[in-house]
Structure 1
């Protein structure tokens, strides 16, 4: 018998298991990232930018010979949140799996595209001189490591050449060692891990997806700006773009460095507002926040990809954006998170989901990636776009 008074206590998944959760725990974990990991708020500004509402679309798609609709997509793809903007208007908004309008859902790796956008902010403000600058020049802690030869551009395009394993099912992979360090809130733990990695290829010669590279990119932006990443995001994008809710970055430890590449928390409509910010070329109320041409460069193919070799089915990779076969820019995250930005069609589609992971996924018998791509095509068709390609 304990001497402690019995009080209510919330049971949360262990941080080190975040990428290995069964479907029964995914929604609870993804909606409560700020209770599992250390965080820092991304503060909204004094004025919220309303998203006008247009006529609701009816999107239908076919998979496996079946005619399916929006409700089917929500159920079959374990979707928690779905929103579509067309020319800045909400034309579809849905919630499931306990998600509410104010819930800050885990971004997973979609936040990589947000963090990479802050490089554009830093360039425009003259805090980063060039994408050809040396990474170690901004981060003395990485001098003498494989990052000596790496440039800012290489971090943006996942081409650092540093050896990294992104195997979510292997507890000993680099990405799960990274995850355990976050769960244990080890000060300096992630940067120490990155410093220990050996080179595997000359920087810039090949694409190799590395969550750790975006962590390093976030550290670099913080160093260049002289402030926490969350403050730069708040001051430069969150407040000017009129976000509705505070968001947050997760931290490597209490009061430590933001994790630039995963696990931030954002509300559904604010995911859409960020997509609209990109669609608007980084201009808010006539004020340019991103450099001229940044969005076009970010959404261009810096590496060509075989769609059969990546989970999204992308044909290319830009500045931490995947390139859809239809030309759209897509921020993609673990377990079904995505921000689809089709500049030619003027469309943003955000999906927040709980796709089951191995070994649980086999029981569902659904190709979740194909389901999402089919739904995206259906949305464009419903809007009369017919799958228009971005420039």
Structure 2
């Protein structure tokens, strides 16, 4: 400690290695201050903003075993910080809570996996990636000779690398928390070193296993294939030409290092919604296809199917880094209740940003958050879908 230091204002933020272990009180602060906790790189907006017209406000009502509830009750019961519903490119519901404001970027958590995976489609459209069946090591020579050597781009997209990985958020020694500690400590090359040392558990493409590290590798691959960092490639292909309202950011593994393709990006509520609109438009901006014509259809198809009870969201499958809702919609899902729901058939986008309590705090929480979410989503669809 410097005993001669002047007492100047300082902002306290939780330790980066504790990011997945925070109390609900700390969650609300940390999730809107990710750029104070981790190294970041901006995703620049362009000169114009895609307008989202405002339609008649909806008032969905839903039922649980505890009675009937409306929008305000849903926000309180599900610890919602931001809620946005878009129908036919018109905003029909927009709410902020828990310190979130219109211009603030909230942590995407793993929702960014789905956005990063969309950049694979853009790189494929541009010819920077030749085929989804290319080996990862073709683009990332540093992974030759390890468990990722024979894994294909498609297997990374569908979480079927076959690499052994522990995604246990409550275990400080799990792979995902060792990854989180490396990010918090801003260790150059630390995450890729972690990935190199993992062992194969299943043949590639044979088994679904949720692995945040897979999407880190996917982000490295897109950067290597395009010769651009992820933030700039996202800005050039989607963020700027589509007309996002605010700059966003990717978190980095270290200062000026590789973007984290699979977690902790910072994005404003309405810009999450605009990304959903981009998908409703089949990945076309100003008449120019950014993605291959069949990309979104393939991304939203079940590469793996499973029981809704086996995952936190209640999905029945997984596509190109998108979870598949029981109603066949695409959903980007993130830790602690983040979601971007895209129903292309009904032309509905629902964005939910939350602070859902995690163990041990969740043990005293008496709301079934999965059931609550789906009950509210279904009520929205019933009113406008």
* TM-score higher than 0.5: yes
Question: Aligned partners of 1:220, 1:357: CA distance in 2, in Å?
Answer: 32
Match of 1:209 in 2: 210
| TM norm structure 1 | 0.98
Deviation at 1:8, TM superposition (A): 0.9
Aligned pairs for 1:1-391 (under 5 A) are 2-383=3-384, 385=385
The superposition leaves residues 274-311 of structure 1 with CA deviations (integer Å, 9 ceiling, x where unpaired) of 01101111011211111101000000000011111111
Coordinate RMSD, CA, aligned = 0.7
**210-219 or 276-285: which moved more?**
276-285
Question: Aligned partners of 1:64, 1:211: CA distance in 2, in Å?
Answer: 35
- Report the 3-state secondary structure (helix = DSSP H, G, I; strand = E; otherwise coil) of the residue aligned with 1:90: strand
Question: Aligned partners of 2:15, 2:111: CA distance in 1, in Å?
Answer: 22
Question: Aligned partners of 2:173, 2:63: CA distance in 1, in Å?
Answer: 39
Match of 1:389 in 2: none
Question: Aligned partners of 1:324, 1:66: CA distance in 2, in Å?
Answer: 25
Deviation at 1:124, TM superposition (A): 0.3
Deviation at 1:65, TM superposition (A): 4.3
| Gap regions ≥5 residues in structure 1 | 386-391
Runs of 4+ in 1 over 6 A off after TM superposition: none
Question: Aligned partners of 2:229, 2:181: CA distance in 1, in Å?
Answer: 23
- Report the 3-state secondary structure (helix = DSSP H, G, I; strand = E; otherwise coil) of the residue aligned with 1:155: helix
- Report the 3-state secondary structure (helix = DSSP H, G, I; strand = E; otherwise coil) of the residue aligned with 1:75: helix
Question: Aligned partners of 1:287, 1:227: CA distance in 2, in Å?
Answer: 21
Q: How many residues align?
A: 384
- Report the 3-state secondary structure (helix = DSSP H, G, I; strand = E; otherwise coil) of the residue aligned with 1:113: helix
- Report the 3-state secondary structure (helix = DSSP H, G, I; strand = E; otherwise coil) of the residue aligned with 1:340: strand
Deviation at 1:157, TM superposition (A): 0.1
Question: Aligned partners of 1:351, 1:287: CA distance in 2, in Å?
Answer: 29
Question: Aligned partners of 1:286, 1:374: CA distance in 2, in Å?
Answer: 37
